[in-house]
Amino acid sequence: MKYSFRFHLLLLPLLLVASSVRSAETPLTNIVFGSCLNKVEHPMLDRTLLVPMDLFIFMGDNIYGDTTNMTVMRTKYDALKNSRFFQGVKKKAPIVATWDDHDYGMNDGGGNFAFKKEVQEEFYNWLDEPKDSPRRKQEGVYNAHIYGPAGKRVQVILLDTRYFRSVLARGNHGIEPSGGPYIPSQDKSTTMLGETQWKWLAEELKKPAEVRLIVSSIQFVPEFAGCEAWANLPHEKARLLELLKTTKASGVFFLSGDRHWCEFSKMDGLAGYPIYEMTASAMTQVHPRGTPTPNKYRMLPKTFHNANVGLLSIDWGQKDPLLHVKILDVAGETQLEHKLKLSELQAK
């Protein structure tokens, strides 16, 4: 038994390396996603390494930089990059990422942040983006990927809700408990994505795919609650719903982070089929208040406020593929979950 155990320990690194190399014809079965890492060592990070994964999505607040000093930013990115967690994920699966305000460098920051170009460079250095990559030349870190063969394609669209976003309106909103000081803007010239990213997104949504995961660092579906969310720019939220409808982009499922709690939301009808969103946050923190802000679109009565990670599993073997999304806690127990058939995400 001792010899067998040692043999498997020696073999494990080879298996991990092999598993991180994916063929374009291999469909994604298990997609792991998380946000808000204020530590590089935490039991939840260790637990995540035990979760089966074909892809890992960093959804923002991947570090807590909050700085204009790029040496400080680089040091925090290097700590994550060299951590047991990051290196373990890298050996198991491809990594894709976007940012939120704390790894953007400014709490609640938007397009007016003076150091956004410098921070973008640090973001791509963290991910080892090639020096000659077109992504390094674009403004903003939005990106998209398609995995798997025809009939089993998963498109992952990672939005940048920071680089171009207009300054948010503030005021008295009377929401209790409140997520922040912001109010919905009536100024339709304000933007979430910027015109260049909007045009890019429209083209991405026209590409063929069976499942489309739209990753927004801030929440898309939930109603206005004073916090940073698409609800603060209602005309931009309506624009995205209209874009889904006009491009006839089926299979859309939103993933988000930011809030330091988990919830499952559903909005009916506006895109031609229900829009679902799973918010998974935070990987290494406990929400101090425990009580979430109001959300009339909250589908499950339960929310979850301790360290967590999200897992989306797709059963391609069924005639109508089954999507099973859930939130896992530090013990690997399921705290929130929902199952839906891919046919439920088809434009009528």
The two tokens of residue 140 are 């903003």
Q: How far apart are CA 240 and CA 341, in angstroms?
A: 23
Considering the domain boundaries, does residue 14 fall inside one? no
Question: How confident is the model at residue 9, as a pLDDT?
Answer: 32
The two tokens of residue 39 are 């530590």
**Band of pLDDT at residue 22, cut at 50, 70 and 90:** low
pLDDT above 60 (res 332): yes
Percent of the chain, pLDDT > 90? 87
pLDDT above 80 (res 234): yes
Q: How far apart are CA 155 and CA 159, in angstroms?
A: 13
Of 132-136, 172-176, 289-293, the poorest mean pLDDT is in 289-293
pLDDT tens digits, residue range 272-283? 899 999 999 999
Tell me how far CA of residue 250 lies from CA of 125, 172, 344, in angstroms: 34, 38, 9
Residues 6+ apart with CB under 8 A from 138: 196
Whole-structure pTM over 0.85, yes or no? yes
Q: How far apart are CA 2 and CA 268, in angstroms?
A: 57
Q: How far apart are CA 241 and CA 269, in angstroms?
A: 10
Three-state secondary-structure class, residue 318: coil
pLDDT tens digits, residue range 114-157? 999 999 999 999 999 999 999 999 999 999 999 999 999 999 99
Question: How confident is the model at residue 15, as a pLDDT?
Answer: 38
Neighbours of 217 (CB within 10 A): 29
Q: What is the 3-state secondary structure (H, E, C) of 226-283?
A: CCCCHHHCHHHHHHHHHHHHHCCCCCEEEEECCCCCEEEEEECCCCCCCEEEEECCCC
Considering the domain boundaries, does residue 192 fall inside one? yes
Greater confidence (345 vs 301) lies with 345
Mean pLDDT over 312-336 rounds to 98
Three-state secondary-structure class, residue 176: coil
Question: How confident is the model at residue 24, as a pLDDT?
Answer: 64
**Band of pLDDT at residue 178, cut at 50, 70 and 90:** confident
Three-state secondary-structure class, residue 324: strand
Considering the domain boundaries, does residue 11 fall inside one? no
Write the CATH number for 152: 3.60.21.70
* Residue keyed to tokens 């410098």: 118
Amino acid at 113: F
pLDDT tens digits, residue range 75-87? 999 999 999 999 9
Question: How confident is the model at residue 348, as a pLDDT?
Answer: 74
Question: How confident is the model at residue 23, as a pLDDT?
Answer: 59
pLDDT above 50 (res 13): no
Torsion of CA 313, 318, 322, 328, to 10 degrees: -30
Domain of 308, in residue numbers: 26-345
Question: How confident is the model at residue 85, as a pLDDT?
Answer: 98
Q: What is the mean pLDDT of the chain?
A: 92
Question: How confident is the model at residue 224, as a pLDDT?
Answer: 93
**201, HSE (Cβ side, Cα atoms, 13 Å):** 27
Q: Helix and strand tally (H, E) in the chain?
A: 9, 12
Question: How confident is the model at residue 292, as a pLDDT?
Answer: 86
Beta bridge partners of 311: 32, 326
Beta bridge partners of 212: 155, 252
Q: How far apart are CA 342 and CA 318, in angstroms?
A: 10
Percent of the chain, pLDDT > 70? 93
Q: How far apart are CA 210 and CA 342, in angstroms?
A: 8
Mean pLDDT over 165-186 rounds to 93
Question: How confident is the model at residue 36, as a pLDDT?
Answer: 98
pLDDT above 60 (res 19): no
Considering the domain boundaries, does residue 114 fall inside one? yes
Considering the domain boundaries, does residue 17 fall inside one? no
The two tokens of residue 320 are 């109508």
Three-state secondary-structure class, residue 174: coil
pLDDT above 80 (res 285): yes
Considering the domain boundaries, does residue 337 fall inside one? yes
Q: Could you give the number of structural domains in the chain? A: 1
Question: How confident is the model at residue 347, as a pLDDT?
Answer: 82
Considering the domain boundaries, does residue 59 fall inside one? yes
Question: How confident is the model at residue 5, as a pLDDT?
Answer: 30
Answer for the pair 4, 285: CB distance below 8 angstroms, yes or no: no
pLDDT above 50 (res 320): yes
pLDDT tens digits, residue range 184-227? 999 999 999 999 999 999 999 999 999 999 999 999 999 999 99
Question: How confident is the model at residue 127, as a pLDDT?
Answer: 98
Question: How confident is the model at residue 16, as a pLDDT?
Answer: 40
Mean pLDDT over 312-326 rounds to 98
Mean pLDDT over 47-71 rounds to 98
The distance from CA 124 to its chain's CA centroid, rounded to whole angstroms, is 17
Considering the domain boundaries, does residue 9 fall inside one? no
